Amino acid sequence: MKVALLLLLGLLNASTCVQAESTMNTPIPIDGSWNNGSEQITQSKTHLTVYVDHKRRGPFRGRFYKFQDGEQLIFVDFTDDTGCCTGRINTSGKTIVWSNNSTWTKDTVAATFPLHPITIVPPRLNPVNPPTPVVPPRPVEVIPPPGQSLESSY
């Protein structure tokens, strides 16, 4: 009986560990726009491509290097800033705190590059010389003189 109980407890612990491991060992999705469209992250599983300063810097390659036990850590090789940076992602995936003490916040609405307002200008009318309306030509009706037909006039 004691052996059966130990085996049962071992099976329960193993299934709990497998379940926890399968949900905890997946990188959190972080692709999208960050910092009001200033930064952009594209994610493919554990691989990252990062653009900075409205795509004026990058692309920089990165990856998740730890995504277990509730911890989500990334490394990005910012080639123009040697030695930088690792980032810690919060549990919601909405904030990255970088090793250089900067913080990125994920945009709630997708931003595109560049952000420019669209202005629609209506055509101007000239009140002094308004455009002349185009009148289609009317069909011409030929009426023969009295007592003659059209066939006899040719």
Give 18-61 pLDDT, tens digit per residue: 333 334 468 889 999 999 999 999 999 999 999 999 999 999 99
pTM of the entire structure?
0.55
The CA distance from 88 to 98, in Å, is 6
Helix locations, 25-139, DSSP H: none
Exposure string over 3-33, b if 16+ CB within 10 A, otherwise e: eeeeeeeeeeeeeeeeeeeeeeeebeebebb
Model confidence at 152, pLDDT cuts 50, 70, 90, reads: low
The CA distance from 102 to 87, in Å, is 9
Answer yes or no: is pLDDT of 116 > 60: no
Instruction: Give the pLDDT confidence score for residue 138 in this predicted structure.
Output: 79
Q: In what order do the strands lie in the sheet with 71-76?
A: 32-34, 39-44, 47-52, 57-68, 71-76, 86-89, 95-98, 103-105
Helix (H), strand (E), coil (C) string for 86-105 = EEEECCCCCEEEECCCCEEE
